[in-house]
Amino acid sequence: MATSFYEQPEQHPHTPYDVVRAALEFLGDQWGALPGPWGTTGHLRSGDRIPFTVGVCEAGDLYIRNDAQGDSVHLPFTSTDDLPAIGQAIAEVVGALY
């Protein structure tokens, strides 16, 4: 157990925008990503111009929402989990929400 602030383990949390950029690796070159305001969300846009939002809900869970249909899915990840794994999970969920 750490006894001072300087002994705390270094953890670098990922923003929702980091997550959507990681998902681009698995989605392909027809997809684009944009940051949301204040880094609170990340936005994906398919080649068909269908928008998706990735963010963190009030309970602290990561979610992805198809903004055209309103459907969403919550994912069991924290902000310090493996970024490529989160990106791959987002890419897989996008297929179900498309």
Domain ranges of the chain: 13-97
pLDDT digits (tens, 9 = 90+) for 49-93: 999 999 988 888 899 999 999 999 999 888 888 999 999 999 999
pLDDT digits (tens, 9 = 90+) for 6-24: 655 566 688 999 999 999 9
Give the pLDDT score at 85: 94
Q: What six digits make up the tokens of 7?
A: 């002994």
pTM for the predicted model, two decimal places: 0.82
Cα three-residue angle 54-84-28, rounded to 5 degrees: 70
Tell me if residue 41 falls in helix, strand or coil: strand
Give the pLDDT score at 59: 83
